Amino acid sequence: MRIAEDRVIEGPGGDLAVRVYVPERDAKAPLPVVVFAHGGGFVFCDLDSHDEFCRSMAEAVGVAVVSVDYRRAPEHPGPAAMEDMYAALSWAAAHAAEFGGDPGRLAVAGDSAGGNLAATVSLAARDRGGPRIAAQILLYPVIDDDFTTESYRLYGEGYYNTTKAMRWYWQQYAPHGTDNPYLVPSRADSLAGLPAAVVATAELDPPCSAGEDYARRLAEAGVPVTAHRFDGLFHGFLTFPSLSLTGPAREVLWQLMRDVLEVS
């Protein structure tokens, strides 16, 4: 890794910490920049919990990564976390060249709750005329709070992530309801004009159905979408590097990211 350093930028709630990763590379061309939101139910996890994943992504895909230490619930209910992501996206657009990044190839990504934030910040950037996003990479994203879907019915208990836990996360993050599309992206009036999407879901994950439905709705709105379901796997598996199935699954994901970001 050529660069792995913490920086503090200006956020809507005060100082906002980010961690910038830039891999070693032979070519001098600027790298795509991925602004990344970690998972953790909007409540848990931080830069350190996802450090290994971000390092692996930067090196394997050939991108610079800006990991965001967004404000968490319940002290900071949504959409505070999305607003922090928006601030980090804007900062990356303005400062990418300083660390060898290409401001013309900005992407957003996140796992679980971070997938929600990548989706909602894509909506905000579209609606506000903000930085142009080349791709949104949604990893088993928590799209909505509908607990009646097929995957919730089939896998709501006994598969690591549970319906009970998801209910609690939403209560912390959105105590006043989820009508706002910057909390639940599927509430948006239109999904047209959003960035190209990679939507990766896990078969044994309660939010799987909602993620796949969001991918379908994006495609119906004219958004280029690559959807991939990891069969036989559960929520969060991408950040368990010791799991035997994680390495091969990551290789699939890295290639999907290289394809959408046009990284050779």
- As annotated, the active-site residues are 112
CA distances from 125 to 40, 62, 151, 159, 225 (A): 23, 24, 30, 35, 18
Closest CA to 131 of 33, 30, 229: 33
Q: How many residues does the chain have?
A: 264
Vertex 57 angle, CA 220 and 77, to 5°? 65
Burial of 176 (C-beta count, 10 Å sphere; 0-12/13-18/19+): exposed
The answer to whether 97 and 124 have CB atoms below 8 angstroms apart is no
d(CA 206, CA 97) in angstroms, rounded, equals 40
End-to-end CA distance of the chain: 19
Residue that has been written with the tokens 């900071």 in this structure: 76
Tokens at 47, concatenated: 């830069």
Nearest residue to 166 via CA among 136, 137, 141: 141
Peptide bond into 74 cis (omega under 30): yes
Instruction: Taking the CA atoms of 169, 46, 117 and 177 in sequence, report the sign of the dihedral they define.
Output: positive
